[in-house]
Amino acid sequence: MTNYLWRLRKEIWASKFMGLSSSLPVFLILLMLLGLFLKAKPLFVLKPLSQIIFSSHWLPLKGHFGLWPFIMGTLWVTLLALFIAAPISLFVAIFLSEYAPSGIREIARPMIDLLAGLPSVIYGVWGVLIIVPFVGRYLAPLFGTYSSGYSVLAGGLVLAVMILPTIIHVILEIFRAIPQAVREASLSLGATKWETIKHVLLRQAAPGILAALVLGLSRALGETMAVLMVVGNVVQVPRSLFDGAYPLPALIANNYGEMMSIPLYDSALMLAAAILLVLVIIFNLIARLILLRVEKGLR
């Protein structure tokens, strides 16, 4: 009996402890948001939040902290990266999982994982040396404009390459989890491999593919180093892919600690960080909503 009580007590302790640990991430996010907003609060005395967010007026010395160019810079670069990376990663994953002989798959898989782990400054240097001149010298003239090369397009390209391996890795795992018998069911009806992929595997994998894309997006939103090296860091709302931009993470990383003598500058940076966090949360929520709809159609 006492033995039983002892075991019961351990059971309760274990569940409580683990429950507490699991609530930690939730608390951390709330705590971060709260901390950032508290730090940014002095800024709101000057102007309401909506005016700061939607204003393009960035003159810190005169107390104008319009964050709109930075928000737009972030969105342009991130979404461009996702648009480039999404189809490519899907094609690569489908090829490796459904068409490639196992030899190629076994070589490609670790190489892709290696790419995912490269330090972002390496991607940055590669971007400066190759992508920026390529955009400035070849792509821009091709479209009849001038660009230094330091642009949204360069940022989007470098970022796309950076998030590709992560997305491919996750989608590969998802395809691997689909039982062979599902493929056989479709093939046995006389469908070709491609028809099976298009009508069956992609449907089955849709929720997982979406999750992989959101993972890539989240990573792209927060990526700092490589992007700030190639986007030009110009305070403006970009109007074309060849314009320079100044994403939020670059703003924070470039100026934190240096510009602190300017009044309220630190508050503006904290607000920028808070907005970045909110953007990540919003994208995740949107993905979750789409996911719910997709799954409703499947199960």
Binding site for other proteins (CB under 8 A): 101-102, 179, 181-193, 195, 199-200, 203-204, 297-299
Helices (H), the chain: 2-46, 49-54, 68-94, 102-117, 120-126, 132-134, 140-142, 152-177, 180-187, 193-196, 202-222, 225-230, 248-255, 265-298
Distance of alpha carbon 220 from alpha carbon 123, whole angstroms: 13
Of residues 25 and 297, the one with the C-beta less far from other proteins: 297
Least distance to other proteins, CB of residue 182, Å: 5
Which DSSP symbol is given to 236? Answer: S
Distance of alpha carbon 160 from alpha carbon 115, whole angstroms: 12
Distance of alpha carbon 92 from alpha carbon 109, whole angstroms: 11
What 3-state class would DSSP assign to 65?
A: strand
Of residues 67 and 209, the one with the C-beta less far from other proteins: 209
Least distance to other proteins, CB of residue 108, Å: 16
Least distance to other proteins, CB of residue 88, Å: 24
Of residues 237 and 294, the one with the C-beta less far from other proteins: 294
- Neighbouring CB atoms inside 10 A of 218's CB total 19
Least distance to other proteins, CB of residue 204, Å: 4
Radius of gyration, alpha carbons of the chain: 24
Least distance to other proteins, CB of residue 109, Å: 16
Of residues 61 and 189, the one with the C-beta less far from other proteins: 189
Of residues 91 and 99, the one with the C-beta less far from other proteins: 99
Of residues 89 and 204, the one with the C-beta less far from other proteins: 204
Contact 203, 178 (CB under 8 A): no
Could you give the count of Cα atoms lying within 13 Å of 220 in the half-sphere of its Cβ?
A: 35
Contact 150, 227 (CB under 8 A): no
Least distance to other proteins, CB of residue 271, Å: 44
Of residues 203 and 288, the one with the C-beta less far from other proteins: 203
Of residues 50 and 188, the one with the C-beta less far from other proteins: 188
Least distance to other proteins, CB of residue 196, Å: 9
Least distance to other proteins, CB of residue 187, Å: 6
- Neighbouring CB atoms inside 10 A of 72's CB total 20
Tokens of 229: 């090296």
Handedness of CA 265, 267, 268, 272 (dihedral sign): positive
Q: Rounded to 10 degrees, what is the CA torsion of 230, 234, 236, 237?
A: 10
